[in-house]
Amino acid sequence: MKIGILGSGPVGLTLGKGLIQTGHHVTIGTRNPSRESLQQWIKRQGKQAAAGTFRQAAEFGELIIICTSWIGTKKAIEAAGIWNFKHKPVVDVTNPLDGKGPDEHGRLTFVIGHNNSAGEQIQAWLPPDASVVKALSCIGHQHMLQPNFKDGSPTMFIAGNNSEAKQLVINLLHEFGWNDIADMGTIEMSRSIEPLSILWTAYGYLNDSSGHAFKLLRE
């Protein structure tokens, strides 16, 4: 599949690598496609990888993954051209952080929440026939691929309005090695999924860890 990734940070490059390893073709979208470190990354990934502007990545993708900092997300979508999202599945990995990093207790701060979420906001910014699926927001990029932990297999929580788009994302998650995926319902459930990133970061801060994840236990 042709996949456009908006974002060249740790998440964008991790997911790009995973998608290429599982046979997909990827264009990474960024404000600066000629950046030396990115060009070297492209070279290492081989022919299935390219870098382009946000618009080129969105044009390229049959599926688009959004992994920009929250502060830059609306600008990146506008630069991508909202018409390029029409009729497409869109994976939203963002968390609506204020960009200031954790406080002295390891707590991150959201700029929206409780009665809105990044997932809903992105769905509202895009054409109505773009199908946003919240996924991969509650795990550090270090464990987005092959998430194996000594305590077992973690759960990935997803949400979105379109069941076909969610099935496509579930298939991609399976390719990445996720075997426990909890579909929490419509995109509004992003309000409950996104705050898990605050809990994840605080646990990491208090325990000097990036090697932890959430698991839903069932009877």
Binding site for ligand NAP (CB under 6 A): 7-12, 30-32, 67-72, 75-76, 93-95, 97, 137, 140-141, 197
**Dist CA 147 CA 180 (whole Å):** 10
Cα 108 to its chain centre, rounded Å, is 18
Q: How far is the CB of 137 from ligand NAP (least distance, A)?
A: 5
Neighbour count for residue 10 (Cβ, 10 Å):
13
**Dist CA 124 CA 126 (whole Å):** 6
Token code pair at residue 195: 């705050």
- Phi and psi angles of residue 207, each rounded to the nearest 5 degrees, phi first: -120, 10
Q: How far is the CB of 70 from ligand NAP (least distance, A)?
A: 5
Q: Which residue sits closest to ligand NAP, CB atoms considered? A: 72
**Dist CA 171 CA 133 (whole Å):** 13
**Dist CA 140 CA 157 (whole Å):** 14
SS3 125: helix
**Closest C-alpha among 90, 127, 70 to residue 4:** 90
Largest Cα separation within the chain, whole Å, is: 52
